[in-house]
Structure formats: C-alpha cells, structure tokens
Amino acid sequence: MSTYLQIDKLCKHFGQFTALKNISLAINKGEFICFLGPSGCGKTTLLRAIAGMDIASSGHIIQDGKDTTFLAPEKRDFGIVFQSYALFPNLTVSENIALGLRNQGKSHKTASDIVTYWLELIGLPDSGEKYPSQLSGGQQQRIALARALALSPGLLLLDEPLSALDAKVRTHLRDEICQLQRKLGITTIMVTHDQEEALSMADRIVVMNHGIIEQVGTPEEIYQKPASRFVAEFVGSMNFIDASVVSDDKIRIGETLLPSPNEHLNRGQRIELGLRPEDIHFTDNNQQSASSIPVQVEDLEFQGTYVRANCRLQGYNPAKNIKVDVPIRELRRLAIKEGHFLFLNITQQYTHIFKAQ
C-alpha cells in the first residue's frame, strides 16, 4: 500500500499550551482513519493542522508527495465536512454544491451535471431547488458531504459529522458514508469521540490523549489488545482489579490466590488486571476452581441479548465491583438471581495486565 499522507514529528502550541506533541503517523491511500479520543485530546487540532486551518508549530505534513505543512487551506487538496453542516442558508441545495465548482472555473453546464450526479448518489435527486432549512439534519449533512466530494478532493476530512444527529439517523448515515468512501476509494480522516462510531467505520483507529497518540491499530487490535490503560478504559467497557504478585506463579486478588497470567511478573509487584465484562464467566455448578474468585451478585441490568451482572468481589477491602456480561441463555441455565454468592472464572488468555496506578 502506498502512503498518501505522512505526518512527521508534528507539534502545535497555543501560547504555553501544547495541543500536539511530536505526532508521527502514516496514512495509506484509500484508507478510512478515525481520530478517537476525549474532548481536548488534540484530535480536532490535528485535523485542522492537516487542513491548514491551524498551522503547525513544527514538524512536517506530506500529502501525496507534496509538503503542505505551511500552505494556506485553499492551496491544499481536501474536502471537509463539519458537525454544523455549514451550508449557506440563502442558497438552494444545488447552488450550495455548485459554489466550489464555479470557483474552480467550471462552466454552468458542467457544474450542473456534477450537482445532478451527486444528488443522485446521496439519494436526494429531487432536493436541488430546496433551501437547507427545508431539509432534515441528516439530509443537510448529506448535502455537506456532496459539496465536499463534488470537487474531487484527494483527501476527505470529517469533523464529528454525525454528532448533531439523532441515534437512528446517525447509524444510517454511518453506513452510507462507509459505502460511499469504499466506492470512491477516497482517503478519509474522521474525528470522533464516539468509540462505537470509530469501531464500526474505521480501517484503523488513532487513539489520542493529551496531545499524543496512545495507539494506532485496527478496531480489533484496539479493542482486544489495548496498548495502555487509557486505551483499555476509553474503548469499550473494562473492569480494573488491583492484584499483587506473591510468587513466580501466583497472584493475589483480595484473599484469593490465582495462577499468574504472565510469567514475566516479579514477586512483590503491584499490578492491575483489565478484564472485559464479556470475557469473564460464572463457573458451572457454582464450584470454585483454581482460577476463580468469589463474588456476590448485587444487581442485574437487562440489556436485550445479555444481562450485565454487577458483582461485588468478596474478601476485597475497600469494596470493589466488577461487571459481568451474561448471555440470556446462560442466565437461565445458571438461574442467577440478585444476592447470590457465586464464583467468577478468569481466563488468562483475555486478561490484560497494567502497572498499578
């Protein structure tokens, strides 16, 4: 795969505040990348640096072999879609899409043909003569997308494009954007704080925190092999349990000794185990095994296909709760009820180990 966008040791300062610290990243041609992270982590600043709206303090951005680090936005090759649609309310839908084409010097006929093509492609062929205020939020966002893509940019930038829409429209538009991106093969970067959005849309996710990149990987890698405690906590649901290493092959959780999940741990070390709620299960016949810990079920939350059991670890001071996702079939088979004392089985394969906080 050929690299389309290369970011090298990029820094951005706003006065005393450092928004981006030494960001390096290579994005392949045709890839769909998500910048994911909490508010203030630097993801939008990085997108704006790529677009030239916030000029980088140092470092380099190379797009398609051309150094664009300090170029003005209009000298760069990208289309951008914002959260707020940013359509001109006094122009019709057709005029909104055609504006950039006319600025590029395209004839009235050519611009009109391109507009017709894009209105067809986004499923709004009869909306050309309407004004933005006559359309729903989801329709306006499609128009904003068509306007960005009509200019045939090499790079599509999406700044939280779905966050202003309601859940159902958002899911629908998410699928449409993915299909469109694959059909066009356009290199796309989307900023989002919504992990579900990133996991379902991206080829690769760039998880950011405090102006640095914590991890880059496929959705599966980010979810199943988090590189840091921050990634483990931010993406999906994760239980963190304090433990201490008592010997070469044993760790202690509360008053329970368990086999060590990793042979490279040192005696006396304090660690945290990271366990996804779906990776823990109750033991059959409520029997204690070598790798199980005693818990009491405090309450059960119905989630449709599964129930989330909130359990309290026994022999653990101060009190510690742990979430377990139990498939409905399993719940019926084990007849789990609130207040029950049970044993939780911890599989080494799905246990993540972090240094104690």
What would the pLDDT profile of 5-26 be if each residue is shown by its tens digit? 999 999 999 999 999 999 999 9
- Does this chain's domain 3-234 share its CATH topology with 239-355? no
What would the pLDDT profile of 142-154 be if each residue is shown by its tens digit? 999 999 999 999 9
Q: Is CATH 2.40.50.140 what the domain over 239-355 is classified as, yes or no?
A: yes
pLDDT confidence band for 262 (50 / 70 / 90): confident
Which DSSP letter does residue 94 get? H
Domain boundaries, the chain: 3-234, 239-355
Say whether 103 sits in a helix, a strand or coil: helix
Torsion angle, alpha carbons of 221, 227, 228, 232, to 10: 10
Spatial CA neighbour of 119 closest among 89, 149, 91: 149
- pLDDT exceeds 90 at position 264: no
Strand locations in 117-224, DSSP E?
A: 155-159, 187-192, 204-209, 212-217
Side chain identity at 56, as an amino acid letter?
A: A
Backbone angles phi, psi at 344, to 5 degrees: -105, 130
- Structure-block tokens of residue 322: 């742990």
- Residue of 265 and 263 predicted with greater confidence: 265
What would the pLDDT profile of 291-307 be if each residue is shown by its tens digit? 899 999 999 999 989 99
The CATH fold assigned to 3-234 is Rossmann fold (3.40.50)
